Amino acid sequence: MLTHVLLASLLIGGPAQDAQDGPRKLTVTDAISAALESNADIQIAVEGERQSAAKTQEQRSALLPNFTGTAGYVNQTINLGAQGLNLRGIPSKIGPFGRARCRCSSTSRSSISV
């Protein structure tokens, strides 16, 4: 069965194009470019350079300031009667009134040790 499949694929696809044309002719520049592109040592060195650049950027980010912030809003009504303050002329419930709060902070390092 396997031989039938192989035979059918050869008949349908025909022989490979490179086999008919013979050896491929390259210029010196093309040969050098092909060798450099497929050289594993060069690819490993390029990847190491990328990783080194990423580490440098990560370490430099520690020198940048860090900003944080929070914000909130509260709509409040106070029941003075529940707190034991029953004064004439003053209503037992005060409000509603709103209160907004915003906090921001910044930290930065002046030096970093590596």
Give whole-number Cα distances, 39 to 13, 27, 45, 53, in Å. 32, 18, 10, 22
pLDDT of residue 55: 95
> Does residue 43 contact residue 69 with C-beta atoms inside 8 Å?
no
For the chain, the straight-line distance linking the first and the last C-alpha, in angstroms and rounded, comes to 66
Token readout for 88 is 């004439």
pLDDT of residue 101: 92
Q: What angle do CA 28, 30, 33 make, to 5 degrees?
A: 110
Q: Backbone phi, then psi, for 104, in 5-degree steps?
A: -130, 145
For the chain, what is the radius of gyration of the CA atoms? Answer: 38
Locate the domains of the chain by residue range. Answer: 25-67, 69-102
Mean pLDDT by 10 residues, the chain (114 residues): 50 52 82 85 92 93 88 90 82 86 84 55
**Tell me, what DSSP letter sits at residue 109?**
-
User: How many whole angstroms separate alpha carbon 22 and alpha carbon 101?
Assistant: 80
pLDDT of residue 19: 52
